Amino acid sequence: MTRISLLESVVVAVISMLVVFGVLMLIAFLIYTLNIISSNLQEKPTETVREILSISDEETIAIISATLAAYLGAELSDFKIRNIRGLD
């Protein structure tokens, strides 16, 4: 059986740690690259909230009512919008 010296075992340990660190850096780079690619592929909203709210009062109330009904899982007849105020 071959005996391994202390220096050889340290060299093997250091090389092993460098390999593991290199693979972790490669995985981090791949995740970063995929994040950039996926953010570029997502569609940007074409209308902003301010553009939607500037349509007209009736359309604004209809949009907000439909949004609330979808969010709450309720029917439009279950609630009534009395007042809409901007946050400005």
SS3 80: coil
Query: In terms of DSSP H, where are the helices of the chain?
Result: 6-41, 49-53, 57-72
Quick one: pLDDT at residue 17? 98
The average pLDDT across 5-19 equals: 96
Quick one: pLDDT at residue 1? 76
Residue 88 pLDDT level (bands cut at 50, 70, 90)? low
The average pLDDT across 22-37 equals: 95
Model pTM greater than 0.85? Answer: no
For the ranges 20-24, 50-54, 62-66, which has the lowest average pLDDT?
A: 50-54
What is residue 46's DSSP assignment?
Answer: S
Mean pLDDT of the chain: 80
Task: Judge whether residue 21 has pLDDT over 90.
Answer: yes
Task: Kindly tell me the sign of the dihedral angle through the C-alpha atoms of 60, 63, 65, 71.
Answer: negative
